[in-house]
Structure 1
Amino acid sequence: MGSFFIIRCFLLLSFFLFTGAFGNNLWTRTEMVEMAGYGKQKLSSVVITGSLLCDTSRPHLHSIPIPGATVAIKCHTGSKRRSKWIKAVTDELGEFEIDLPSQLHAIPHLENTCFIKPVYVPRPYRCYNTSTNIHKPIKLVSSTNGFRVYTSGKIRLQGHSSRS
């Protein structure tokens, strides 16, 4: 046990001497923060995309995009603290994009721990006979150089819209 401690101390001391940490090359707080991945330059990005549509009961109209709706994503972090909903508003095509906060990037298997839910649909686009408990899973579609893209695909609300 004692020899393991001595070897560990020797390796740690060698690392500091080799990197110059005891000399004039001490790292500043800003440099330490950036090395840890919390600086201005992001080390990774996770984006979730999707669209919100209203499937109408009229056969000649397939699906109507729902602009101005609010969708939210929630990820179970595994801690006792409840995770917060991260919200986005759909554009004129009913599409949304959520940039996940960096503290959630390290969650393993995001596709098993995160889900999307529509939380608000504007009055003229209300789809009737819909369940408010729609939870749509996400799926990884791309991962390159620290940039991951997930999608919920098309979230379809059933019913008819007053816009149809």
Structure 2
Amino acid sequence: MGSFFILRCVFIIIFFFNGAFGNIWTRTEMVELAGYGEQKLSSVLITGSLICDISRPRLHSIAIPGATVAIKCHTGSKKRSRWIKAVTDDSGEFEIDLPSQLHAIPDLENTCFIKPLHVPKPYRCYHTSTNIHKRIKLVSSTNGFRVYTSGKIMLQGYSSRS
């Protein structure tokens, strides 16, 4: 409560100081002066791909486009964490931009996991066990930008596509 009062007083003083000298600061300058920014301080990107391992002799595996995958991170609070979803592209690959409120979770590799949620009908693939989730692994960290990957998530089954 006290810090909010001090911050409010600073804004009032700046407002009167600006008015006295005729300077008008822009909203952006005021936000930066107060220490708040609208630019992201960090980014966390999760990547991976969804592959169907076909049991037919001539086909080894195929990418699954249009599938829904999701990541869930346990925050440690009693509040339920929610699934953050993504859809695979034509190559079976997905990207999830983790919301900023999850960036500060310590040890993301052990608190977050990926799970396939839905596979389109033409692909008759399934996860061998519905309780198995794929962990993520840090692959890059530079200037507040971190990239994790789940690697290839292999589903077992067959496809009606040839």
* TM-score normalised by L of structure 1: 0.77
Aligned to 1:12: none
In the TM superposition, 1:1-164 aligns within 5 A as 21=10, 24-25=13-14, 31=31, 35-36=35-36, 39-128=37-126, 130-164=128-162
Runs of 4 or more, structure 1, over 6 Å off, are none
SS in 2 for 1:35: coil
Q: CA deviation at 1:154?
A: 0.1
Larger strand fraction of residues? 2
SS in 2 for 1:126: strand
Contact 1:69 1:89 in 2 (8 A): yes
In the alignment, residue 31 of structure 1 is paired with which amino acid?
A: V
In the alignment, residue 76 of structure 1 is paired with which amino acid?
A: H
CA distance in 2, matches of 1:23, 1:130: 62
Change in CA separation of 1:80 and 1:34 when aligned onto 2, cut-off 3 Å: farther
Task: Using the aligned pairs only, state the percent identity.
Answer: 77
Offset from partner CA, 1:55-93 (integer Å, 9 cap, x none)? 010232221100000000000000000100000000000
Q: CA deviation at 1:129?
A: 7.2
* Pairwise CA RMSD: 2.7
Q: CA deviation at 1:32?
A: 7.0
Q: CA deviation at 1:163?
A: 1.6
Contact 1:118 1:134 in 2 (8 A): no
SS in 1 for 2:109: helix
Give the total of aligned pairs.
143
CA distance in 2, matches of 1:153, 1:112: 15
In the alignment, residue 35 of structure 2 is paired with which amino acid?
A: M
Q: Which runs of 5+ in 1 are unaligned?
A: 1-15
Change in CA separation of 1:128 and 1:75 when aligned onto 2, cut-off 3 Å: closer
* TM-score normalised by L of structure 2: 0.78
